[in-house]
Amino acid sequence: MVPVGTMYTESIALCCILPVCNKQEKKEITKFIHEFLYVDENSAYSIYGYMREQFLYAKMPTDQRILVEHYTGFGKKKYLIFHTMFGRRTNDALSRAIAYLASRRTGRDVMISLTDNGFYLLEGEKRIDHVQPLEDLKRLSLREILIKAIDKTEILARRFRHCATRSLMILRTYKGQRKSVGKQQIGSKLLLNFIKKLPGEFPILKEARREVLEDLMDAEHAGQIVALMRDGRIKVEAIETVIPTPFALNMIAQGYMDVLRTEERMEFIKRMHQAVLMKIAGK
């Protein structure tokens, strides 16, 4: 087992015990959840039900299986959903690397949405192929991919401003006048664009990249996941869904937060959950 995020061991421990479903085993499972996660009895039953629905509806992602879900949503938007139980920071690194490789092949921008237990990629109405980006990921250096992926992002620009300020390349106060954060950010972007043109690796830019990859993300453990995929110890399985799986439902609903009010979003989740239950029941 790869020692990644906090959610990792909790999720895997629960995933590994779900296939058994009779009443006695259900009682033992909920007792384990209650003791292992320090939650009350009602929460333990809710977690059990949530995980069991995923198991009955589709497949369970584990430490040895990455589940890739192709789902077509409203407006014919085609989601590529990765169920990766490795924690948010590791998922952040994996999602940016895969999105960069997918975008490089299609020449289009790819949107990312991230959670603790997965992420999805969206390229409008065009279906994203997961096979080639994953093959590229296993063949190339993950760190080099991530450096290219974050090169023009706002997150690198902000981290560079922090590093440049600490190294006194950007002054917060000049001749008694305090510069606003906005002006500091504009100055740092101009400086960043100039530094990128210099030969060699500038120390401040190198530190900014390190902070993004190692402090905000977890590139080290993401690299371990890729190595296990390369060795065949982590399998990737793909499924097609008409209704998103229970694990994917919250991710999809978050994508509609800007469109739907809170009440409408809750109704949307309830309708989709009911459709999942009907699908499980064979109706």
In whole numbers, what is the pLDDT of the chain averaged over residues?
Answer: 83
Q: What is the pLDDT of residue 10?
A: 47
On whether the CB atoms of residues 102 and 133 are closer than 8 A, the answer is: yes
Rounded to whole angstroms, how far apart are CA atoms 199 and 259?
A: 46
Rounded to whole angstroms, how far apart are CA atoms 247 and 87?
A: 14
pTM of the model as a whole: 0.82
CB atoms within 10 A of CB 8: 21
With cut-offs at 50, 70 and 90, classify the pLDDT of residue 227.
Answer: very high
Name the region of 234 (left: φ>0; alpha: ψ -120 to 50; beta: rest).
beta
Q: What is the pLDDT of residue 262?
A: 58
* pLDDT tens-digit series, residues 28-56: 888 888 888 888 888 888 888 888 888 88
Q: What is the pLDDT of residue 235?
A: 94
In terms of DSSP bridges, do strands 111-115 and 118-122 run parallel, antiparallel, or are they unpaired? antiparallel
* Pick from 78-87, 182-191, 255-264: least confident: 255-264
Q: What is the pLDDT of residue 4?
A: 44
* pLDDT tens-digit series, residues 167-219: 888 777 777 677 777 777 777 888 888 888 888 889 999 999 999 999 999 99
Between 232 and 250, residue with greater pLDDT = 232
Q: Is the pLDDT of residue 12 over 70?
A: no
Rounded to whole angstroms, how far apart are CA atoms 112 and 96?
A: 8
Rounded to whole angstroms, how far apart are CA atoms 3 and 6?
A: 9
